[in-house]
Amino acid sequence: MSTPPLGPRPEPVASRDSAFFWQGLRENQLLGQHCDGCQRFRHPPRPACPHCGSFDWSAVPLSGRGCVHAWIRPQHPPMPMFGDDYVVALIELDEGIRLLSNLCEVGAGEIRTGMPVEVFFIDVGESGARIHQFRPRAEAANG
């Protein structure tokens, strides 16, 4: 039997480089940092492109679709704000970048590397902050 979360999740803390990402989530949109120089996506957000060194970039909407690259069900130390059955997953998005998130709506015994997933958003705290979460894609779950 799982233990429900105790208290709210902590709110994300935006930096100058990541503020666009967190603002996008508040608007139910997953945004990626896209280099205007070499046309590659990068994550986590940073001032300069690690591929070409350009400081020029744009915030671009991402599909929110990808697959499970790796996952873990943390055991210790307990984090009461998450409950006891949460899954942390590294999601490889269709655009080629990877995001660390939670994988929801699936039992640990059903998770597999390469599982198709899609993003959804949840509220955290009282300031209107939102975070991204992933769940199995509907078409993948149905066949």
> If DSSP codes are grouped into helix, strand and coil, which group holds residue 103?
strand
DSSP state of 23: H
Q: What is the pLDDT along the chain (143 residues), one digit of tens a residue?
A: 455 555 677 888 999 999 999 999 999 999 999 999 999 999 999 999 999 999 999 999 999 999 999 999 887 777 777 777 789 999 999 999 999 999 999 998 999 999 999 999 999 878 889 999 999 998 755 55
Environment class of residue 47 by beta-carbon count within 10 Å: exposed (0-12), middle (13-18) or buried (19+)?
A: exposed
The two tokens of residue 137 are 């894609």
What domains are defined for the chain?
14-62 (no CATH), 63-143 (2.40.50)
